[in-house]
């Protein structure tokens, strides 16, 4: 019987107030959709990566190295560490992208890979672990003359099976036929500066003998327990006989690097969902309070005949249960299609994970969370029914008790004084009335500014994050000075001579300005378990333009540490660090701490000059005004073939491409939802306000105000509320939003802890607010347009 009554009431209310209920359902659907989508993206990312990592078996610790090494010492090190379960040395041949061309025999199409700025490493299939897998998850074994490029190149250059790759060696072209594409558990992310091509043993031997490649190795270890990776890294770096001329990476960092792009999408969607849930609850609170005031006499009658408060609350709550349930079902269904779109890159790089029980439980749990949270807040609001007194409800039609009624009377008296026209001196009366009304009923109208505030934050934060990652100045967050081009000189027998020649040529070139050279030098410092490798970039940092979270650039006798190194060694600006090189120990003062997201985020900067015996060199330069950077890059690449000369903008775009694409997707979603929310909520609010203010408008009409004047009043109040909320939201996004986004990114452990937005002000603070204000105002225009044909005499009847 009780369920039947609740069903009839719910059905009647839903059909009676279609517009209001539909608007609430739309917001709840969006909330459920985003929460389910975000949780499913996280689950699919972790499941796909988990299955892929299980199949590919990446190392738990790896060390890249260029140069000579002693295999016997590596054998000795592995035997001394029982936690090492398996280990291997992977040999690689590195080629510049411009040295690799492709051709499609069937059509004659072709080109080269010069647009790619990362290192191309040709390898053979490992037999024990760290496998390169094809698109079906199998371990391909290329035949002679076959090659498996990375899947990233399949998408970037449109390569297809059957295409021919021609690699320029010292003895001529090595031709290989594309037999398929491989996924790489180590180097799938754009944050990795290298990628691997899989070839046969025969082709590897031929290309090695032909010359023209830069040989490298990766020393890789699989451990009995992944938690031991950090201690193994410390032991490895403390051993002077171990090859260390390159980056070292642990299993945890591999996971972070591979998951960060899709993780950002999921985090953005779930953040948007929380904002929309907040908006939905604000509107539900507004609607519920209005419902209680409109039906207070019916509630009083139900209490008078003995119905308990819980039963009355349950009757009204049934509608919100039904609405939230419908929203969760619809939002969950829509999220299934959305996840397929958002995880296309994930599927290409890691494959599609099998659907299991967790795949279903995760989004269901997210939807249940939305349902429970919304219903618990609604139940709390309906708890006000307990305070309604029968006499006040039936006689006065009030939801307030005697004390509340007295307080309201005082507020009404103040409102009368505030809305007095005694000070009116003949200005625009229509505007004066609108502003006085808005001031007097600020508690009711505050919903619109709050919603617009949240919508502005929802729209602006992702686009600010996108413009920050896309800005050339973001290179300073990658541990490098801002410049137009950079030249990298890796390991080679004549690297010192090439560095001197390149630096002399750039210094003498009038088309280049602000030429700065930095040498990468391996130092050691004391860690928890002995001496560890500390990679230091030595050069002049007096005018590098890099931001510091603490302190400043190093001077003579000082060193600056990256955020992760400062945390690793528990150091801050002003502390001393003990370093040694070639047996000579020195104490240096930490001048400052900077952010760095490259090379695992573990780096240091030392003031000084090194011209020889460095492991590598990097030269930065700015192009003079009117100089084409692309021409400079091409010219210096030809003049110094052993140097990798790249334009910084393209370097940035490619390095951060996974991150920027992920944020771009999130920004597009939140942009659409933000505008939609502004339009829907403004319309919903005004629909309810107009219904409640009919008597007031009827009296104004009766004393001579025209319909156009009444419409102008409503639109004016809506515009003021919309503008106030939008402006405040934009200001918060530009200030507090930095800290919020920085906190989320710092949790990823990439080396970013203090993000400073680099927004496009025309988009973030002019175009977006203008569009948001327009959407909110259009809602007011659509709703008030109906007043022109309304029966004004009916307004006086309430």
Residue with the two structure tokens 């993000």: 755
Please tell me what DSSP assigns to residue 764.
Answer: I
Give CA–CA dist 172/759, Å, rounded.
48
Q: What is the pLDDT of residue 404?
A: 53
Over range 144-164, report the average pLDDT: 89
Over range 588-608, report the average pLDDT: 83
CA distances from 586 to 534, 559, 589 (A): 13, 11, 10
Task: Kindly report, residue by residue over 456-472, the tens digit of the pLDDT.
Answer: 988 888 888 888 888 87
Over range 24-38, report the average pLDDT: 83
Residue 85: name the closest of 109, 125, 57 by CA.
Answer: 57
The proportion of the chain whose per-residue pLDDT surpasses 70, expressed as a percent, equals 83
Confidence class for position 795, pLDDT limits 50, 70, 90: low
Over range 621-650, report the average pLDDT: 85
Please tell me what DSSP assigns to residue 763.
Answer: I
Residue 422 has pLDDT above 60, yes or no: no
| Higher pLDDT, residue 714 or 771 | 771
Dihedral (CA of 489, 492, 496, 498) sign: negative
Q: What is the pLDDT of residue 131?
A: 92
Q: What is the mean pLDDT of the chain?
A: 81
Give CA–CA dist 220/90, Å, rounded.
8
Confidence class for position 716, pLDDT limits 50, 70, 90: confident
Q: Return the C-alpha torsion angle 400, 405, 408, 414, nearest 10.
A: 170
| CB contact at 8 A, 632 and 626 | no
Dihedral (CA of 110, 116, 119, 125) sign: negative
| Higher pLDDT, residue 301 or 455 | 455
Residue 77 has pLDDT above 60, yes or no: yes
Residue 250 has pLDDT above 60, yes or no: yes
Cα 119 → chain centroid: 26
| CB contact at 8 A, 40 and 111 | no
User: Residue 596's beta-bridge partner residues?
Assistant: 478
pTM: 0.75
- Of 220-229, 344-353, 596-605, the least confident: 344-353
Tokens, residue 345: 């890159």
Confidence class for position 347, pLDDT limits 50, 70, 90: confident
Give CA–CA dist 717/719, Å, rounded.
5
CB atoms within 10 A of CB 429: 12
Give CA–CA dist 605/540, Å, rounded.
9
Residue 728 has pLDDT above 90, yes or no: yes
Q: What is the pLDDT of residue 793?
A: 61
């Amino acid at each position: 019987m009780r369920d039947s009554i609740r069903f009839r009431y719910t059905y009647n209310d839903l059909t009676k107030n279609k517009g209001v209920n539909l608007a609430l359902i739309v917001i709840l659907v969006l909330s459920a959709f985003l929460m389910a989508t975000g949780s499913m993206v996280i689950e699919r990312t972790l499941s796909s990566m988990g299955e892929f990592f299980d199949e590919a078996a990446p190392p738990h610790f790896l060390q890249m190295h260029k140069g000579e090494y002693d295999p016997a010492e590596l054998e000795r090190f592995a035997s001394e560490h029982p936690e090492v379960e398996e280990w291997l040395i992977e040999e690689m041949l590195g080629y510049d992208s411009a040295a690799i061309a492709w051709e499609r025999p069937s059509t004659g199409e072709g080109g080269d890979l010069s647009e790619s700025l990362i290192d191309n490493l040709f390898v053979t299939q490992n037999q024990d672990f760290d496998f390169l897998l094809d698109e079906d998850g199998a371990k391909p074994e290329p035949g002679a003359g076959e090659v498996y490029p990375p899947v990233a190149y399949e998408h970037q250059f449109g390569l297809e099976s059957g295409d021919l790759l021609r690699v320029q060696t010292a003895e001529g072209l090595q031709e290989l036929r594309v037999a398929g594409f491989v996924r790489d558990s180590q180097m799938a992310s754009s944050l990795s500066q290298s990628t691997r091509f899989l070839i046969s043993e025969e082709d590897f031997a031929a290309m090695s003998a032909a010359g023209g490649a830069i040989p490298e190795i990766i020393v890789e270890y699989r451990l009995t327990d992944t938690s031991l990776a950090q201690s193994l890294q410390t032991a490895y770096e403390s051993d002077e006989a171990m090859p260390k001329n390159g980056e070292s990476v642990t299993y945890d960092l591999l996971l972070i690097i591979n998951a960060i792009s899709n993780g950002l999408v999921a985090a953005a969607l779930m953040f948007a969902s929380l904002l929309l849930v907040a908006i939905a609850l604000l509107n539900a609170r507004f609607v519920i309070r209005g419902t209680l005031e409109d039906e207070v006499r019916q509630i009083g009658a139900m209490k008078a005949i003995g119905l308990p408060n819980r039963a009355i609350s349950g009757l009204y709550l049934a509608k919100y249960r039904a609405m939230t349930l419908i929203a969760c079902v619809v939002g969950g269904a829509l999220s299934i299609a959305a996840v397929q779109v958002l995880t296309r890159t994930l599927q290409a790089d890691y494959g599609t994970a099998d659907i299991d029980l967790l795949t279903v439980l995760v989004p269901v749990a997210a939807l249940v969370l939305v349902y429970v949270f919304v219903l618990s807040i609604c139940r709390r609001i309906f708890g006000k029914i307990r305070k309604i007194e029968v006499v006040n409800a039936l006689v006065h039609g009030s939801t307030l008790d005697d004390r509340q009624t007295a307080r309201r009377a005082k507020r009404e008296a103040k409102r009368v004084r505030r809305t007095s026209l005694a000070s009116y001196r003949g200005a625009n009366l229509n505007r004066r009335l609108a502003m006085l009304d808005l001031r007097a009923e600020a508690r009711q109208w505050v919903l619109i500014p709050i919603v617009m505030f949240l919508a502005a934050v929802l729209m602006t934060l992702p686009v600010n994050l996108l413009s920050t990652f896309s800005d050339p100045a973001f290179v300073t967050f990658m541990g490098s000075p801002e410049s137009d081009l950079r030249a990298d000189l890796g390991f080679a027998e004549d690297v010192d001579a090439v560095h001197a020649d390149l630096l002399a040529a750039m210094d003498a070139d009038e088309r280049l300005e602000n030429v700065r050279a930095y040498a990468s030098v391996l130092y050691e410092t004391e860690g928890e378990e002995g001496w560890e490798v500390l990679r230091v970039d030595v050069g002049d940092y007096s005018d590098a333009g890099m931001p510091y979270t603490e302190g400043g650039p190093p001077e003579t006798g000082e060193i600056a540490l990256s955020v992760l190194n400062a945390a690793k060694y528990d150091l801050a600006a002003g502390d001393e660090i003990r370093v040694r090189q070639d047996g000579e120990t020195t104490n240096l003062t930490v001048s400052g701490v900077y952010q760095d997201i490259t090379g695992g985020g573990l780096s240091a900067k030392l003031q000084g000059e090194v011209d020889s015996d460095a492991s590598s060199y990097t030269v930065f330069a700015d192009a003079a005004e009117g100089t084409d950077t692309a021409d400079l890059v091409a010219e210096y690449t030809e003049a110094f073939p052993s140097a990798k000369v790249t334009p910084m903008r393209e370097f940035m775009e490619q390095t951060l491409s996974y991150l920027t694409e992920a944020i771009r997707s999130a920004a597009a979603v939140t942009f659409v939802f933000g505008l939609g929310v502004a339009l829907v909520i403004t319309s919903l609010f005004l629909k309810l306000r107009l219904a409640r203010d009919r008597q007031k408008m009827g009296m104004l009409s009766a004393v001579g105000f025209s319909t156009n004047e009444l419409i102008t009043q409503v639109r004016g109040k809506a515009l003021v509320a919309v503008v106030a909320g939008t402006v405040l939201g934009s200001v918060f996004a530009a200030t507090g939003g930095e800290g919020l986004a920085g906190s989320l990114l710092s949790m990823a452990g990439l080396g970013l802890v203090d993000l400073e937005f680099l927004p496009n002000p025309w988009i973030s603070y002019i175009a977006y607010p203008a569009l948001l204000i327009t959407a909110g105002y259009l809602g007011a225009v659509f709703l008030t347009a109906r007043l022109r044909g309304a029966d004004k005499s009916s307004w006086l009847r309430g």
